[in-house]
Amino acid sequence: MVTAGITAVDVRRSFGGVHAVRGVTLEAPVGAVTGLVGPNGAGKTTLLLMLASLLAPDGGSIRIADIDPVADPAAARSRLGWMPDALGAWPSLTVRETLAITARLYDLDRAAAARRAEELLDEVGLRELADAHARVLSRGQKQRLGLARALVHDPSVLLLDEPASGLDPQARIDLRGLLRRFAAAGKTVLISSHILSELEEVVDDAVFLIDGATVSAERVAEAARRSRTWRVRVAGRDATAAVMQVADALGLDVARVPVDRRDILIPFASEDDAARGLNTLVAAGVAVAEFSAATGLLEHTFLDLGSSDGARS
């Protein structure tokens, strides 16, 4: 039984003297959405191209649903759907024609290709643009078409490079729902995105890349445990007016408690400490209207890794 839809062990790739990927080890399990997180130039797109069998690694090993994409790229491609950051569409074809022809390239017969195109028009929200030419689509609409093309042969593994780029808020919500449904259906989803708040909402786990290498699980766990800032908003009071009450309740030096527009910023060492702090504020009679982490856990971990000399595994 396949439990890892994607496995990479010590994968490396250089372009001349540039070491784009210099040691990536990861596993993306079946039935889960895994995030690929890293700054620009970390090697995310190069890694995705290797996983998609479009670029051969210089070293290491890759398996897509237990298939080696270097040794048998056709078999690997039959099982994976690849959505690049930029859609290379046929500009003179309509959205419907693009999907039907893509399905034919995956050996669906004409009738099956037409049916699959109609299904995907609804699934990705392009029904009203079915007869529009690809060249007139907006960035967000092209992203939807790119996702539909990746899904046309019902792959078990999805590789998505910045799929939310250019999408409006409702489309991003729809995308999150789609990805969760794919995972629930037993697909493997690996998604790269700079929009960490979006990843936070959809991923089951994340892999962090810094300078072309995966960060060790121990280092990631250490970063996630670092003190995190929380936002406190008091009902009916300006933050500057309320900061004294909040600081007194928590036993803090008010001169060291920052204010950001409407919010008072309080660091807590852990979520348990934050929960205790909230209880303390309520018990002290502070009318807490909002209490939330200033950054999501993914963003918090990413920022800590990026600012630390010890970020590399």
Do 175 and 70 share a domain, yes or no? yes
Q: Which pLDDT does position 11 carry in this prediction?
A: 97
Do 237 and 272 share a domain, yes or no? yes
In contact, 179 and 210? CB cutoff 8 Å: no
Pick from 214, 249, 272: which residue ends a domain? 214
What is the percent of the chain with per-residue pLDDT over 90, rounded to a whole number? 69
Structure token pair of residue 294? 């200033």
CA R_g for the chain: 23
Pick from 188, 214, 240: which residue ends a domain? 214
Question: Which range marks the domain in which residue 226 is found?
Answer: 222-306
Pick from 155, 179, 214: which residue ends a domain? 214
In contact, 153 and 81? CB cutoff 8 Å: yes
Read off the CATH number of the domain in which 248 is found: 3.30.70
Structure token pair of residue 146? 């790119």
170 three-state secondary structure: helix
The pLDDT tens digits for 21-70 are 999 999 999 999 999 998 888 899 999 999 999 999 999 999 999 999 99
Do 272 and 155 share a domain, yes or no? no
Do 175 and 57 share a domain, yes or no? yes
- Of residues 243 and 309, more confidence is placed in 243
Min mean pLDDT across 93-97, 123-127, 138-142 is at: 138-142
> Does residue 312 belong to any structural domain of this protein?
no
Please give the sequence-ordered ranges of beta strands (E in DSSP) within 98-184, or none if there are none: 157-161
CA end-to-end distance (rounded Å), the chain: 30
Q: Which pLDDT does position 194 carry in this prediction?
A: 78
Do 61 and 201 share a domain, yes or no? yes
Do 184 and 286 share a domain, yes or no? no
pTM: 0.84
Q: Position of tokens 């300078």?
A: 211
Q: Position of tokens 């929200």?
A: 125
Rounded Cα distance between 196 and 302, Å, is: 9
pLDDT mean across residues, the chain = 90
Do 210 and 251 share a domain, yes or no? no
Read off the CATH number of the domain in which 196 is found: 3.40.50.300
Q: How many domains does the chain have?
A: 2
Min mean pLDDT across 39-43, 143-147, 247-251, 263-267 is at: 39-43
> Does residue 180 belong to any structural domain of this protein?
yes
pLDDT classification of 2: cutoffs 50, 70, 90: low
The pLDDT tens digits for 205-233 are 999 999 999 998 888 888 877 888 999 99
